[in-house]
Structures are given as structure tokens and as C-alpha cells.
């Protein structure tokens, strides 16, 4: 299994090259983006983040100081704006209550401790927590999303009914605990699924993983 995971990474890296994902100016912006990304497309998140930047509110102080209705208006492009505004302000309130308003202080804790604290926040599930840990905190915590499930299901490495932690363990237990590797691997998965391994009408004949993909060979 370890060899297969490495082979998949190598094929994707050879095709796409370094991706250096996730783009953000600060760790806090990564956390905001991780919450805004829930149940929406990245293009919508970019519009919401642009609004927050224009308002000077991409910081714990900025989010904390906004009226709820104003924050909802700024992040409206990301969808579910009332829920997400509540989650953002609960997160910042937690940071001020426990860490002087600094996400970096929370993320300075050991991986297990920081992950448990993030998962205790309303609206922060495992995918959101792991995104914050990996991309904002540099922790080796693999992110599992719908792209991961689709790709590795088609590759025959997942049955489709595994829980989040079981899929995460597939990578955590078999790859070196290296944040840069996990960062690049997840970015490659996203790029692969956006271009080739699409939910509908996948482009299997041109896919770099075709030589090792049962689904692709059957489709072709």
C-alpha cells in the first residue's frame, strides 16, 4: 500500500509539477478560508475573501469587531453565510478567550492537542480542522475531502463506505509524517480531480494515473 501511495504521488507530481498550495497571506486567513470553503466552490470563497480584505477584516480582530450582519454581507458569496459568520465569530471569540486572539498560539500545541481543540469549535469538522492544522500550522495532518474519496475509490484503494478517520489513516499510517509532503499530495489530488478525475465525464484517456487506475481502464 505504501508503494502504491508513493507511485500515485510520483505520477501526479511528474505531470503537474510543484503546486505550493494553499494560497493565503496569514495563518488566520487560511482558517477563514477553511471555514468559508465548506459546501461551496473555491471561486466563491475567493470573492468572499476579497470582500473581507477590502473591509480590512482578514484578522481575528477584524472578524471579532464586525457586527454579525456586516460579516454576513461580506461573506455572502461563499453561501451559508449566516452559519459561516457565526462559526467565524465563535472561532475568534475562542481565540481571544484562550489564546490572546492568536491562532498561532493554538497551533503551537502538539498535533493531537491542537486538533482536539479545533474539533471542539462549533462548525469545525475533521476536514476543516486538518486544513487549518496543515496549511496554517504546518502540522503533518492529512486532509481528506470529496476529491480524495473519489480519486482513491476509483483507484481501488477505498471501498466508499470508510469514515473520515479511516481514510485519513490510510495516508497518516503509511506515508512519512511530513507536512510538505501532505500539503503537496492534497494539492495534487485536488488538481487531478478538477482536470481529469471529474465527478461527471472524467477524462480518463488523458489522465496521468491511467496506467494504474482500474476505473480508467474500464471506462476507456
User: End of a domain among 85, 107, 136?
Assistant: 136
> b/e string for 83-111 if b means 16 or more Cβ within 10 A?
ebbbbbbebbebbeeebebebeebbeeeb
Together in a domain, 192 and 105: no
Domain of residue 82, CATH code: 1.10.340.30
C-alpha angle with apex 128: 17 to 71, nearest 5 degrees?
110
Confidence of residue 20 (pLDDT cuts 50, 70, 90): confident
User: End of a domain among 98, 119, 136?
Assistant: 136
Together in a domain, 159 and 79: no
Together in a domain, 117 and 196: no
Give the pLDDT confidence score for residue 220 in this predicted structure: 67
8 A C-beta contact, residue 152 and residue 160:
no
Together in a domain, 81 and 154: no
8 A C-beta contact, residue 75 and residue 52:
yes
Give the pLDDT confidence score for residue 6 in this predicted structure: 96
Together in a domain, 119 and 175: no
Average pLDDT along the chain? 95
The pTM score is 0.94
Together in a domain, 159 and 125: no
Instruction: Count the domains in the chain.
Output: 2
CA–CA distance, 116 with 160 (Å, rounded to integer): 26
Domain of residue 211, CATH code: 1.10.1670.10
Domain that holds residue 64: 27-136
How far are the Cα atoms of 12, 89, 94, 201 from residue 122, in angstroms, in the given order?
35, 10, 10, 36
CA–CA distance, 10 with 85 (Å, rounded to integer): 39
Together in a domain, 132 and 148: no
User: End of a domain among 136, 151, 171?
Assistant: 136
pLDDT digits (tens, 9 = 90+) for 139-190: 999 999 999 999 999 999 999 889 999 999 999 999 999 999 999 999 999 9
Amino acid at each position: 500500500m505504501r508503494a502504491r501511495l508513493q507511485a500515485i504521488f510520483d505520477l501526479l507530481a511528474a505531470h503537474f509539477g510543484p503546486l505550493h498550495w494553499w494560497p493565503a497571506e496569514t495563518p488566520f486567513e487560511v482558517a477563514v478560508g477553511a471555514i468559508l470553503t465548506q459546501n461551496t466552490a473555491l471561486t466563491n470563497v475567493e470573492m468572499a475573501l476579497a470582500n473581507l480584505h477590502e473591509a480590512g477584516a482578514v484578522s481575528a480582530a477584524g472578524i471579532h469587531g464586525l457586527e454579525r450582519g456586516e460579516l454576513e454581507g461580506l461573506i455572502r458569496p461563499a453561501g451559508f453565510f449566516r452559519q459561516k459568520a457565526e462559526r467565524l465569530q465563535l472561532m475568534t471569540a475562542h481565540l481571544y478567550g484562550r489564546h490572546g486572539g492568536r491562532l498561532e498560539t493554538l497551533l503551537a500545541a502538539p498535533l493531537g492537542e491542537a486538533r482536539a481543540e479545533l474539533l471542539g469549535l462549533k462548525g469545525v469538522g475533521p476536514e476543516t480542522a486538518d486544513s487549518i492544522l496543515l496549511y496554517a500550522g504546518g502540522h503533518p495532518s492529512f486532509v481528506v475531502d470529496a476529491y480524495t474519496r473519489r480519486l482513491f475509490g476509483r483507484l481501488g484503494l477505498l471501498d466508499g463506505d470508510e469514515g473520515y478517520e479511516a481514510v485519513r489513516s490510510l495516508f497518516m499510517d503509511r506515508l512519512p509524517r511530513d507536512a510538505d509532503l501532505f500539503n503537496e499530495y492534497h494539492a495534487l489530488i485536488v488538481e487531478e480531480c478538477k482536470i481529469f478525475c471529474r465527478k461527471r465525464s472524467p477524462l480518463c484517456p488523458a489522465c496521468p494515473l491511467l496506467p494504474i487506475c482500474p476505473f480508467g481502464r474500464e471506462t476507456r
